[in-house]
Structure 1
Amino acid sequence: MVSRVLVLGGRGRIGRGVVTDLLAHSQAEITITGRTNQAAGDLKDYPTERVQFQTLDLAEQQRVTAAIATHDLVVHCAGPFRYRDASVLKACIEHGTHYIDVSDDRNFTRTALSCRAEAQAAGITAVINTGVFPGISNSMARLGIEQLEVPEEVHLSYAVAGSGGAGEAVMQTTFLTLQHPFKVWLQGQWQEVKPYTGREVVEFPEPFGRTGVYWFDMPESFTLAENFPVQTVTVKFGTVPDLYNHLTWLVANWFPGAVIRHPTAIHLLSQVSRMMTAVSDRFSGTGVAMQAEVKGQKDGKPAHYRATFTHSDAATATGLGAGSIAQFILSGDLNQPGVWTVEQAFPTHLFQQAMQIRQITIQQEWR
């Protein structure tokens, strides 16, 4: 039987990346959702025999639930997840529909993981945080950890060129995130850090080169710490060109909190950022680079593993990260009832197979 996949938020850049990946690597019939009938025009680039459009607003819970009930898998791309609850996941559990999402928010992750027992009882596989970071980055960390006898530290560094394809809503969420300190796992204990501090310069592959990265609140900073026996997990993020890093640092460290929290200020900052990146994207592109370093012991000696990943388009990379997991859920190769993060659910051999199929090279080295 042909599987049916519902892609919520399928009109966005990440959603389109997921749809494109599913068309290439599965036989599924795909339903793309949008809030207006005008969105149906986006289907012209897809084969009509496999892709259809459905007008659907996530606020209309009954209609959303009815749509979920007629599909085998839901791919939730309708962020920002800072503003989402777990209602879509719970509807999937209720109707026995598998679920994945591209979430990247700490609180949403906690809420979703709390539904594990219900998902196990329903027999559905639900994998969250399945984009590029988090997502592919988590699998890169697991790949390194599994090669060490005693893993001790995980260091993840991300860089995005220009906007990375993000829209204004994502930029608004980024500015809101800058105002909230968060806890990270350092030297065997939870410590609080402030966003966009702790600058380090990382040598990414070209065309990124030397790029500044800073503390940034991502769910993998705590899920990796909870899922693996390591003493330190650092997750840092930066942008290219470096000017944007310095501007973001100023907002995070110099602007009064009351100003940044005001909706008008957030809206203005995101609009200005969108206009700036609309210009710089023409020169920098919208790619993504990631580096995963794992330190520990191998053969009784200190060992330092490093893996790097680059892609010319961050949104497309997020789509293929989610599409990889969707592919194996649909094929039955990934069948693990419950709610899991990528590093818990996605075994390394399937991750490596997914990257090979998509002609993505993960550069690995020992230092």
Structure 2
Amino acid sequence: MKIIVVGGAGDMGQVACETVAIDPVVTQLIIADRDIDRAQTLADKIGSKASAVSLDITDKDSLLDAVSKADIVLNTVGPFYLYGPPVLEAAIAAGKHYADIADDWEPTLAMLDLDEAARDAGITAVIGIGASPGISNLLASAAHAELDAVESLHTVWRGGSGVPPVPATPEEAQPSAAIDHWIHNLAEPIRLWRDGRYEMAEALETFEIVYPGIGPGQVWTCGHPEPITLPRAFPDITNSYNIMFARPGLIEAARAVRDRVRDGEIDVAQGSKEFLLSPGRRWPEAGEIPAFPGVFAYAEGTKDGAATRVAVTTNVLPEGEMGEITCVPLAIAAGMLARGEALNTGVHAPEGALDPNIFFERLEPFAADLDGKPRLEVSIEAM
């Protein structure tokens, strides 16, 4: 099976390439990138099954020609509002399966609009198969399955875990692309599923959830694809948000910056630097954080006629940094596509295309030793 990784020499793409290459179902790996030197260096490192090609994905003809040489297309090139739909369109035109790590809700909608074209082409496209979205969606599938009827189905993650210490001087404040992306998302309207319909809202709405066996904690809404896609797979649910928990001081620092960016006083780059320089965003000044797992799904509904809440987390998160937790899931999805294990043709989020049991089983070798713990940790209690 031939796989092409578009953007394969980038920080995310390299992890995807190295992980895909160890799957025995993959016979050839094409590393496509505009930086041919980096792509060739990676191909040499991986070995005989890998080759490098120069690719400018803004050149439609070159893109179509490149993806036509593979069986499966993996897209790691952001921002996805620019480079998600065009690469998927090329994969559909070439009749090739597709997967990506898109994490913005706007391009998610644009790519879902290509569902009929993908079905007509007989291909499966899995969009947003990273950590969140990705692992989070499949945890939501597992949480949904625990209840007889589901009212609310949310994906939850810890905010601020990758934020560096407060710099000593403004010159030392160097925001990462991830922080810029976060501040941008907080400043823009978000789309969520509330009262059985899609609704535009402002990020950082505050409410509380109760994790079974742990207790209550404050959470805040943010913009992500999960509330766009989960109601498509589970039309019975009434509410679906992507929410984060964090130290309150961190959220207040982000809110202050977000408001200024939203109101046009500063741009995202300036806002990100101001956020890094905010003295109250780190412990202990920022306050305590709930003892929740780093990523989980949370559902409320009924089971055996009683109001019930359930949370599902996983003990098989890939070890490593952002590249591993994002792109190992992408590589697992590629292997499932290569083995014909997709649940449907068309364009789907992970919950519509991948079997959670197979996915988490394949994820296990990339995690720390389970030491007797289950792959999925289900916590459930009456409300």
TM-score scaled to structure 2, two decimals?
A: 0.80
What pairs with 1:1-367 in structure 2 (closer than 5 Å)?
3-28=1-26, 29-40=28-39, 42-43=41-42, 46-160=45-159, 161-163=161-163, 168-198=176-206, 213-228=219-234, 229-238=236-245, 244-255=250-261, 257-260=263-266, 265-270=267-272, 289-309=294-314, 312=319, 313-334=321-342, 336-359=344-367, 361-367=375-381
Aligned equivalents of 1:150, 1:192: Cα separation in 2: 25
Structure 2 CA distance for aligned equivalents of residues 57 and 167 of structure 1? 27
Deviation at 1:46, TM superposition (A): 3.1
Note the alpha carbon deviations across 1:181-232, whole angstroms, 9 max, x for none: 2232223344442112316588799xxx998642111111121123211111
Once the two structures are overlaid, the 10-residue window that deviates more, 122-131 or 37-46, is 37-46
Q: Is the 8 A contact 1:139 1:342 kept in 2?
A: yes
> What is the distance in 2 between the residues matched to 1:355 and 1:174?
27
Mean Cα deviation higher: 29-38 or 94-103: 29-38
Output the aligned Cα RMSD.
3.2
Distance 1:194 1:144, change over 3 A: same
User: Does the residue aligned with 1:129 lie in a helix, a strand or coil?
Assistant: coil
Deviations 1:322-367 (A, max 9, x none): 1121111111222632111111111233234323454473322222
Residue 27 of structure 1 aligns to a residue whose secondary structure is coil
Contact 1:204 1:211 in 2 (8 A): no
- Identify the residue that residue 284 of structure 1 maps to in structure 2: none
Query: Equivalents in 2 of 1:254, 1:63: separation in Å?
Result: 41
Instruction: Please say if residues 9 and 35 of structure 2, whose CA atoms lie closer than 8 Å, have aligned partners that are also in contact.
Output: no
Unpaired runs of 5+ residues, structure 2, are 165-173, 283-292, 369-374
Q: Give aligned-pair identity as a percent.
A: 23
Query: Given the superposition, is the C-alpha separation of residues 89 and 244 from structure 1 closer, same or farther in structure 2, using an over 3 Å criterion?
Result: same
Number of residue pairs the alignment of both structures matches: 347
Query: Residue deviations 1:233-290, cap 9 Å, x none?
Result: 1211356x76543321111235552234xxxx323344676899xxx9xxxxxxx920
Q: Which sits farther off after the overlay, 118-127 or 42-51? A: 42-51
Provide the rounded CA distance (Å) in 1 between the counterparts of 2:43 and 2:97: 28
Distance 1:147 1:254, change over 3 A: same
> Is 1:212–1:245's contact at 8 Å kept on the other side of the alignment?
no
2:286: which partner in 1? none
Structure-2 separation of matches of 1:270 and 1:182: 19
Per the TM alignment, residue 98 of structure 1 is displaced from its structure 2 partner at its CA by: 0.8
Equivalent-residue separation in structure 2 for 1:339 and 1:252 (angstroms): 33
Q: Which amino acid aligns with 1:314?
A: M
How far apart are 1:39 and its partner, in Å?
Answer: 1.6
Moved more, 133-142 or 246-255: 246-255
Q: Equivalents in 1 of 2:2, 2:24: separation in Å? A: 11
Q: Is the 8 A contact 1:305 1:364 kept in 2?
A: yes
Which runs of 5 or more residues in structure 1 are unaligned? 281-287
Call closer, same or farther: CA 1:357–1:168 in 2, change over 3 Å.
Answer: closer
Question: Cα distance 1:237–1:315, how it changes in 2: closer, same or farther (>3 A)?
Answer: farther
SS in 1 for 2:265: helix
> Which amino acid is the alignment partner of residue 266 of structure 1?
V
The 8 Å contact of residues 155 and 294 in structure 1, kept in 2 or not, is answered as yes
Q: Could you say what secondary structure the match of 2:378 adopts? A: strand
Deviates more, 1:40-49 or 1:174-183: 40-49
Q: Tell me if the contact between 2:101 and 2:127 (Cα under 8 Å) persists in the aligned partners.
A: yes
User: Equivalent residue for 2:169?
Assistant: none
